[in-house]
């Protein structure tokens, strides 16, 4: 079993945005540090442009960004890309750094061609249950690997831990946590464990200014992002959740503002609804508690839900800081005190870190 | 790459005590759930007895305990065991469920024969730095794998997380935490964040009665167990720590009681020294803090230390419950808020879980 001369694994990347750029930087370092297997970038594209050559010549990782900017090649259509990668003669890992449903829908195709996938893209694992089944069936059939640590909690070891619990035969009874950096920041500022906190609409505005929200904050406040993460964890825990809209998800968008034209108009009109959130906060305070936006999965009763809950000041969920995520796994083996993972659950570098560590896991198995 | 007919991996186990029994139960379930690769137990021994046949016939996992009890076979000497396992013709994983230094010293031999190792045994990774180097050199040379998640924090994903951080190129600046379930229990009861807590000697006695300490509680109070775990983490973070006695470790055994004959005599005489601990507690309280027994690694200044520290009541280390461990990783990517892992860090089932998940990782790579 002595290591032979360096083996080669081809890497193809879709997406070169925030996470994509951080991943490229980590990949460049990784390729420099670890000569075996030799990592060869053979394809990279954004939604408009691509870099590749028909004979799979290595693309220099260090100069990808400028080369992409000046490229005249359009991206390959996904079925063509599967052909291109599947006929290279080398083992190949596709890194999907997009949040595209189209790319996600093509995972079964790539996997069936023996192409492994690592990705932070939530869409593949939180869309229809049929797609989930197709993905893992294709992987099982071909032996290709699919890893998606960063689809929940960015680089925090959430999915790997849940898989370890399940695969070693523990019985996960409940999963609960704060799964959104945006929601964490908003509630840690709006309803802190000490001090009175800010006004709801002002905190939302501040979060947007700090870059903690989507361009339209309603895309965070509708709870769908958290629902997608819960869907992924629930499925890994064994519940065949049909979709992220198949369970109760509380939206923090006032009904009246659901259809206003823009995020800016939404922010302008939000102060008129501060009284509602103030009431929720006061009700919690009366019980000596604080309000938090959490997701929970009760595996025994098969109940998944997302929304506001009250927590004692000494509860780890109440004590969260900044925009951190926290995820508690209650299991038979761990008993009354859960296994807890906590830390930054968003950001380019830590999201890319989850993708890179997934890539290392795949390389350990296929190379 | 389609899965062929079930491949076989041989399993050899040393140790059938508390963790060993839990592991056997998890292995039996695992073998039943996952037909590929086929897991075949070919050797198991305690310090006195063994079960094996020269032609490597499978041992029934379900009836191992009773078969071992009535066995007349003595265990093979470790070099003979390496020969036995190395000539089976099948890939083999050795599971060391002991805390034996002798077995640990033989890891380079097993690894050089291509035999992978999974273990909760701290001795191999926290002994001399030379042994550490020999182990990983032997593994690199033969391609055999060595995993030891449960050597720190039992089944908590501590080592895998640290490895992921390092291997993906993050810069770990500091690691800090409560690494001993015994010390956690003692200080959470002696100096709780609310209420006045018990007397030190009474808490030590209670911990012993509850089975939270070693038979002689001094084996917990001397800090060496924590020092061993710190040694492992420091080395993984890149510091070539020579041994667990190469850095400051505060012992909580009063000098006068270091040489009393028995743990019972120690417990009997400990109340006379309660005033010392009471003073330490009062000094922390004066600052609005609580005292905890922690280990820390400052990677930049290369300082490793184990001992008493004071923490604000709102600090996650102060807020720990029961006998939980907590480990905080401060890194460049994670910024000011650390990545935190928390939960039970001792106990047969959760320790065995770390061993079983290590075994799954090895199987994914060698089978």
**Pairing state between β B116-118 and B91-96:** parallel
Distance CA B354, CA A334 (A): 12
Assign A362 a pLDDT band (cuts: 50, 70, 90). very high
Q: Which of A339, A330, A337 is nearest to A299 (CA)?
A: A330
CB < 8 Å to A156, chain B? 339
Tell whether the model's pLDDT for residue B2 goes beyond 50: no
Record: contact A337-B322, CB cut-off 8 A: yes
In angstroms, what separates the C-alpha of A247 from chain B's closest C-alpha? 29
* Chain centroid to CA B74: 27
pTM: 0.96
Q: Which helix (H) or strand (E) holds A117?
A: strand A116-118
- Average pLDDT value for residue range B9-27: 97
Task: Give whole-number Cα distances, A147 to A132, A181, A354, B188, B339, in Å.
Answer: 13, 22, 9, 39, 21
Nearest to B143 among A2, A144, A365 (CB): A2
Residue B229 annotated in active site? yes
CA dist A218 to A228, A243, A245, Å? 15, 20, 16
Residue-wise pLDDT tens digits, A75-133: 999 999 999 999 999 999 999 999 999 999 999 999 999 999 999 999 999 999 999 99
Could you read off the pLDDT of A195-205 as tens digits, one per residue? 889 999 999 99
In sequence order, the 6+-apart residues with CB closer than 8 A to the CB of A268 are none
List, for residues B125-142, the tens digit of each pLDDT value.
999 999 999 999 999 999
Indicate if the alpha-carbon torsion angle A128, A130, A134, A136 is positive or negative.
positive
Q: What confidence tier does A138 reach under pLDDT thresholds 50, 70, 90?
A: very high
Name which of B30, B157, B164 is nearest A169 (Cβ-Cβ).
B30
**Cα of B248 to nearest chain A Cα, Å:** 29
**Chain-chain contact of A339 with B343 (C-beta, under 8 angstroms):** yes
Q: What confidence tens digit (pLDDT) does each residue in A248-294 have?
A: 999 999 999 999 999 999 999 999 999 999 999 999 999 999 999 99
Report the distance separating Cα B322 and Cα B347, nearest Å: 13
Express each pLDDT in B154-183 by its tens digit: 999 999 999 999 999 999 999 999 999 999
A351 sits in which H/E element: helix A348-366
Q: Which tens digit of pLDDT belongs to each residue from B248-307? A: 999 999 999 999 999 999 999 999 999 999 999 999 999 999 999 999 999 999 999 999
């Amino acid at each position: 079993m002595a290591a032979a001369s360096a083996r080669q694994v081809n890497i193809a990347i879709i997406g070169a945005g925030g996470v994509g750029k951080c991943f490229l930087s980590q990949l460049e370092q990784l390729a420099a540090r670890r000569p075996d297997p030799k990592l060869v970038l053979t394809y990279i594209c954004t939604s408009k442009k691509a870099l590749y050559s028909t004979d799979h010549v290595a693309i220099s990782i260090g100069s990808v960004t400028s080369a992409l900017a000046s490229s005249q090649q359009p991206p390959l259509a996904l079925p063509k890309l599967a052909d291109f990668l599947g006929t290279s003669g080398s083992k190949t890992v596709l890194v999907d750094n997009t949040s595209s449903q189209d790319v996600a829908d093509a995972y079964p195709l790539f996997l069936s061609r023996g192409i492994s996938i690592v990705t932070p893209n939530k869409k593949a694992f939180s869309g229809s249950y049929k797609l989930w089944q197709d993905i893992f069936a294709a992987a099982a059939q071909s032996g290709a690997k699919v890893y998606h640590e960063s689809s929940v909690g960015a680089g925090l070891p959430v999915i790997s831990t849940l898989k370890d619990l399940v695969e070693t035969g523990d019985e996960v009874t409940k999963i609960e946590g704060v799964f959104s950096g945006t929601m964490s920041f908003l509630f840690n500022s709006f309803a802190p464990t000490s001090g009175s906190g800010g006004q709801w609409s002002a905190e939302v505005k501040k979060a947007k200014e700090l870059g903690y929200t989507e361009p339209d904050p309603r895309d965070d406040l509708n709870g769908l992002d958290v629902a997608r993460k819960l869907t992924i964890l629930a499925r890994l825990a064994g519940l065949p959740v049909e979709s992220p809209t198949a369970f109760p998800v509380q939206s923090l968008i006032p009904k009246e503002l659901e259809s206003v034209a823009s995020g800016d108009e939404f922010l302008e009109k939000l102060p008129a609804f501060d009284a509602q959130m103030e009431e929720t906060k006061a009700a919690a305070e009366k019980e000596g508690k604080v309000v938090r936006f959490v997701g929970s999965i009760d595996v025994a009763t098969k109940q998944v839900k997302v929304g506001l809950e009250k927590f004692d000041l000494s509860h780890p969920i109440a004590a969260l800081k900044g925009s951190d995520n926290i995820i508690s796994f209650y299991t038979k083996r761990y008993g009354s005190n859960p296994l807890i993972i906590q830390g930054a659950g968003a950001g380019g570098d830590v999201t890319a870190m989850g993708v890179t560590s997934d890539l290392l896991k795949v390389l350990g198995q296929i190379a």
